[in-house]
């Protein structure tokens, strides 16, 4: 009996050791945690994000400030519950110093309370407007854009340059879709146009025919918001619908980003979008990035590569400026903020506003075919666009947040 008890106690001890947090190696490594959708419908975007982050760390030999960098990557599966479990593992077991990645709005919103509780320096890719407007998080800086930020300029361009007057919108039925369409509608209508119809498509839908059949026949154009796998299917089915040739398609630049273009054909030619980066940008930082990325991946990198490449560079520069002393979290957040503005970036100039959101160029892009290859050509640049567009922040924030129903359709 004594032998049995000894075996049982030993087994329990081994189990506890397996579940215990990893020993602290603060003096040895700087630990970065990555969360992204590496499986599921958004997997390609998530993989591009991770590859972009790794590219930035490979560029510096996984070292900064005299210390080695260790990367811990976890798959959220695009699911909030899974993301929370993986986040807890990164914090409690891997003891990360900084978190980055995170693509989907539902995942980002679910993690913010935990990040604030844990006081974890975080660079988010996710785009919910209010994270840098009405629900500002102290430990969070955005590496990407607020959802409506790139769509404000597109609304202006659609009305003033493309001269559209009556438009329908169709978008994914989630916060990203709601906020992007809201930003587009507000500026488009402030510029003299009118959105006459808004259609919402669930995230699990890949057959768009029933929704396209509802688009009013007398609109000048259609503005769409889809990403990853949905974007590829939507663009193809739009080209097969009666709308092709009658109502031009415009929308978020994420819809025709290079990661989505890989799955598209000539049906994408002519689509106009708005985004914060294009592979055709000629600034020195982008030329360096493009050379590294094309050599590494053997193809044109995507917007998700570029943004996460920036995130990795900012974290590394912050660590370097602190001589590797990243344990002081207040100092680390401040150092990342400084690095964002001081580090030449592939997308162009960046300034962080007081809310933790980048003020940056927004590029109007058009899908063209050059040398037998689809490419996003920059046709117009809106320099240093604020997340509040040209509105005063205090006035902007008096209005309701962009949502499924705001702005409402006008009679």
Task: Write down the residue that tokens 């209010």 correspond to.
Answer: 130
Nearest-Å Rg of the Cα atoms of the chain is: 22
Query: Residue 13's pLDDT is what?
Result: 41
Question: Which pLDDT score, from 0 to 100, does residue 204 have?
Answer: 84
Give the pLDDT confidence score for residue 23 in this predicted structure.
44
| C-alpha distances out from residue 99 to 315, 390, 401, Å | 10, 32, 27
Residue 382 and residue 276 in contact, taking contact as beta carbons nearer than 8 Å = no
What three-state secondary structure class fits 201?
strand
Closest CA to 257 of 282, 234, 276: 276
The enclosing H or E element of 105 equals helix 105-118
Q: Are 162 and 216 in contact (CB under 8 A)?
A: no
Q: Cis before residue 407, ω within 30 degrees of 0?
A: yes
Q: Where exactly are the structural domains of the chain? A: 29-145+282-356, 151-275+361-396
Angle of CA points 126, 129, 131, to nearest 5°: 70
β-strands 272-275, 358-370: how paired? antiparallel
Look up tokens 């063209």; give the residue. 368
> How many degrees, rounded to 5, is the angle at CA 70 between CA 68 and CA 75?
165
Mean pLDDT for 75-99 is 96
For the chain, helix (H) and strand (E) counts, in that order, are 13, 14
- Taking 70 as the threshold, does the pLDDT of residue 113 lie above it? yes
Residue 230 contacts residue 177 (beta carbons within 8 Å): no
Percent of the chain residues past pLDDT 90, beyond the cut = 82
- Which CATH superfamily does the domain covering 151-275+361-396 fall into? Response regulator (3.40.50.2300)
Position of tokens 């490449």? 309
pTM: 0.89
pLDDT score of 27:
56
Asked whether residue 163 carries a pLDDT value surpassing 90, the answer given is yes
Mean pLDDT, range 295-303, rounded to an integer: 94
pLDDT tens digits for 31-51? 999 999 999 888 888 999 999
Closest CA to 68 of 301, 289, 319: 319
Dump pLDDT digits (tens) for 48-62.
Answer: 999 999 999 999 999
Give the pairing of strands 67-75 and 29-36.
Answer: parallel
Show the tokens assigned to 63.
């070292």
Residue 15 has pLDDT above 80, yes or no: no
Q: What is the mean pLDDT of residues 178-196?
A: 98
For the segment 224-266, what is each residue's pLDDT rounded down to a tens digit? 999 888 999 999 999 999 999 999 999 999 999 998 898 999 9
3 state DSSP class of 79: coil
Distances (CA, A) of 248 to 216, 241, 281, 364: 13, 12, 25, 15
* Mean pLDDT of all residues belonging to the chain: 91
Task: Let me know if 353 is exposed, middle or buried by CB neighbors in 10 A (0-12, 13-18, 19+).
Answer: middle
d(CA 237, CA 260): 14
The H or E element spanning position 63 is strand 63-64
Sheet of strand 67-75: strand arrangement: 63-64, 67-75, 29-36, 98-101, 122-124, 140-142
- Which CATH class for the 29-145+282-356 domain? alpha beta
Are domains 29-145+282-356 and 151-275+361-396 of this chain identical in fold?
A: yes
- Structure confidence by residue, pLDDT tens digits, 262-275: 899 999 999 999 99
Tell me the per-residue pLDDT of 347-391, one tens digit each, with 9 for 90 and over.
999 999 999 999 999 999 999 999 889 999 999 999 999 999 999
Contact in structure between 398 and 133 (CB atoms under 8 Å): no
C-alpha 221/C-alpha 354 separation (Å) is: 36
* Cα–Cα dist 277/346, whole Å: 7
Task: Find the mean pLDDT for residues 64-73.
Answer: 96
């Amino acid at each position: 009996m004594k032998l049995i008890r000894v075996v049982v106690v030993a087994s329990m001890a081994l189990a506890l050791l397996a579940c215990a947090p990893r020993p602290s190696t603060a003096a040895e490594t700087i630990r970065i945690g990555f969360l992204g959708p590496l499986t599921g419908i958004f997997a390609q975007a998530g993989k591009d994000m991770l590859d972009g982050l790794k590219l930035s760390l490979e560029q510096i030999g996984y070292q900064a400030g005299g210390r080695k960098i260790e990367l811990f990557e976890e798959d959220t599966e695009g699911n909030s519950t899974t993301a929370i479990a993986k986040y807890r593992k990164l914090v409690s077991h891997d003891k990360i110093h900084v978190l980055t990645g995170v693509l989907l709005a539902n995942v980002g919103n679910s993690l913010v309370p935990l990040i604030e509780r844990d006081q974890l320096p975080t660079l988010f890719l996710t785009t919910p407007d209010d994270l840098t407007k009405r629900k500002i998080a102290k430990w969070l800086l955005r590496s990407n854009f607020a959802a409506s930020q790139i769509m404000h300029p597109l609304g202006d361009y659609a009305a003033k340059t493309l001269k559209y007057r009556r438009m329908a919108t169709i978008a994914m039925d989630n916060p990203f879709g709601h906020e992007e369409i809201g930003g587009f509608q507000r500026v488009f209508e402030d510029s003299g146009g009118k959105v006459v119809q808004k259609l919402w498509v669930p995230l699990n839908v890949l057959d768009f025919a029933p929704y396209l059949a509802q688009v009013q026949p007398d609109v000048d154009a259609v503005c769409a918001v889809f990403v990853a796998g949905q974007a590829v299917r939507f663009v193809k089915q739009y080209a097969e619908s009666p709308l092709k040739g009658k109502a031009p398609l415009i929308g978020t630049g994420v819809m025709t980003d290079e990661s989505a273009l890989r799955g598209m054909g000539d049906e994408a030619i002519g689509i106009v979008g708005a985004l914060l980066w294009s592979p055709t940008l000629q600034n020195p930082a982008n030329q360096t990035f493009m050379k590294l990325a094309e050599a590494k991946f053997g193809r044109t990198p995507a917007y998700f590569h570029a943004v996460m490449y920036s995130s990795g560079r900012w974290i590394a520069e912050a660590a370097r400026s602190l001589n590797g002393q990243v344990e002081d979290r207040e100092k680390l957040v401040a150092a990342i903020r400084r690095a964002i503005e001081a580090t030449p970036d592939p997308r162009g100039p960046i300034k962080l506003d007081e809310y933790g959101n980048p003020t940056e160029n927004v590029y109007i892009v058009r899908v063209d075919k050059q040398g037998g290859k689809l490419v996003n050509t920059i046709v117009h640049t809106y320099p240093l666009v604020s997340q509040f567009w040209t509105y005063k922040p205090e006035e902007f924030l008096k209005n309701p947040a962009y949502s499924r129903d705001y702005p409402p359709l006008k009679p």
